[in-house]
A and B are shown apart, each in its own frame.
Chain A
Amino acid sequence: MTVLELKGISKHFGAIQALNDVSLTIEPGAVVGLMGDNGAGKSTLVKIIAGNFPPSHGTIRVQDREVHFHKPVEARESGIEVVYQDLALCNNLTAAANVFLGRELRRGVWPLRILDYATMYKRAAELFKELKSETRPRDLVKQMSGGQRQAVAIARTRLSDSKIVLMDEPTAAISVRQVAEVLNLIRRLRDQGIAVILISHRMPDVFSVCDRIVVLRRGTKVADKEIAKSSPEEVTALITGALERA
């Protein structure tokens, strides 16, 4: 069984061909590193899988069923969770409000369904603890450090029983200790059978947690192989184009 299967995905924005005929298969519990230069199309691929916009061509199958997402909620309902590159946080809201953004917990009976602050604070605190992050649910995200903001974005993915988590540069702009925490979290997800796609420019991160690596160059997939059979040097060459394909 595969969690996610992309076939011939292309995407163009006007004249810009952001993705060109990309196919990809992800098994449960696989941790796949997705690498590529700036503008290679990584975030675009993530946004297509997450239902932010449809591909121009190609099909997406989740657990062997073809899907057509029209909005992010639909992808989420199929078990796809995303940590976006810019984290998608609202600075004017609290950490807990951001974690639950778009799926707030409510209590009471209709028409008086009100926000369940107590439970949301409690759940958010539990998630931050699980992530070993010193993040206070009631604090405004505006005042938070890079690592805390990252924790808020990652905590979101733990709200539901996800099958696959897409992480777009989750380790950019955080401290060494927090990078280690994020990588540990990825391992914990894998141990629970959740697949992870990790986008990163940091070679050591990719080589320490991923079991497979996929390289995009100018919208085309140029490599897809087991990490054990590759090396940072080879990947660098693939990214820059010094090596055409692997």
Chain B
Amino acid sequence: MAVSLDDTINRQTHSTLSWLLSRQTFWVFLAAVLACIALTFMTDTFATKNNLFNVTRNFAFVGIVAIGMTVVIISGGIDLSVGSTLCLSAIVTGLVMSAGYPLGLGIAAALVAAILVGVVNGVLIAYVGMPPFVVTLGMLSVARSMALVLSNNKMVYQFGPDQALLLQLGGGTTFGIANPLIVLAIMALIAGFVFRWTGWGRHIFAIGGNEQAAILTGVPVRRIKVGVYVISALTAGIAGVLMTGWLGSVTTNLGTGMELTVIAATVIGGANLAGGTGTAFGAVVGAALIEVIRNSLILLGISTFWQGAFVGSFIVIAVAFDRIRSFRQSD
């Protein structure tokens, strides 16, 4: 009796393979890989060094912000203000550097601005108890307005003595890889580690799964939620600085509508808007897939007006696929 109880308790119920096959992220990854293989054969231009470089750099910006968004979505929230936060940070970097200050100070100022945005979002959501959708929708408007006010709606394209450094940071390469992609890789690794190996990571999943349970078991829910929105804003701030360096100029419409692309990437990558699920790898894969779709339309000579239709369909297909799978599982 005792032996059989031991056996049941210690039995492994999932093989690694069945676990893998049950992941939406895995299937989306497969789709992205297949799309790349297909494009390699269908066009002469896809698998060129130049094109691959552009694709990977382009999705890096969305990917970086998508990692922050994943953290928010895992905790059961949403952050609609990331596009505006990205713009605000970019403007702040631009203004500080064009005033003659060094790159380090420009970055620091941008990140402080982002953190402020995150703290305001987080405090209103966690301590005042307002819905994330409303708070961050308001912030979407406020942060962009701040960018307009600070810059007086003028384009910033001169970045003082450290201009070359900034352009190198966002537009340059290290060992042939675009710098933003390296930042994305580092951030994805950190996020992956935090999700799996830290108490904080465990707690954001708990909050997204059952916030009431997290409160009752003594998880510091409010503090963690503020942190979640600060991280989301920070990723937007980092992407904002890198984008400034890549573009070589900042205007106040930078990042307009980006929140939707970022949320799309996160959801395609397997995060559930109801909270409690999501992976860093998924956010990266989702961002990559959106960029591959965009790139393939251009290379195949299809009007880019179709991009929205493809990305939109993919969101629905990816989530529907996940639904069907979980129906089958619960049978």
Binding site for B on A (CB under 8 A): 50, 52, 71-73, 76, 82, 84, 86-93, 97, 101-104, 106, 113-115, 125, 128-129, 132, 134-139, 156
Contacts and interface: CB of A to CB of B under 8 A. Distances in A.
Contact of A90 (B2, B5, B210): B210
Given A92-B208, A104-B202, A138 B218 contact: no
A93 B206 contact: yes
B219 interface: yes
Given A90-B205, A92-B209, A136-B10, A71 B218 contact: yes
B220 to A, nearest CB: 8
B214 interface: yes
Contacts of A134: 5, 8-9
Given A90-B276, A114-B197, A101 B13 contact: no
Question: Interface SS of chain A: helix, strand, loop or mixed?
Answer: loop
B5 A132 contact: yes
Nearest to B216: A88
Contacts, number: 89
Question: Interface SS of chain B: helix, strand, loop or mixed?
Answer: helix
B85 to A, nearest CB: 27
Contact of B9 (A50, A93, A115, A128): A128
Interface in B206-237: 206, 208-210, 212-219
Contact of B216 (A52, A104, A114): A52
Contacts of A92: 205, 208-209, 276-277
Contact of A139 (B2, B13, B197): B13
Q: Which range holds the interface residue count of chain B?
A: 20 to 34
Interface of B: 2, 5-6, 8-13, 196-199, 202, 205-206, 208-210, 212-219, 276-277
A93 B208 CA distance: 10
Contact of A138 (B12, B196, B208): B12
B206 A90 contact: yes
Contacts of B5: 129, 132, 134
B328 to A, nearest CB: 13
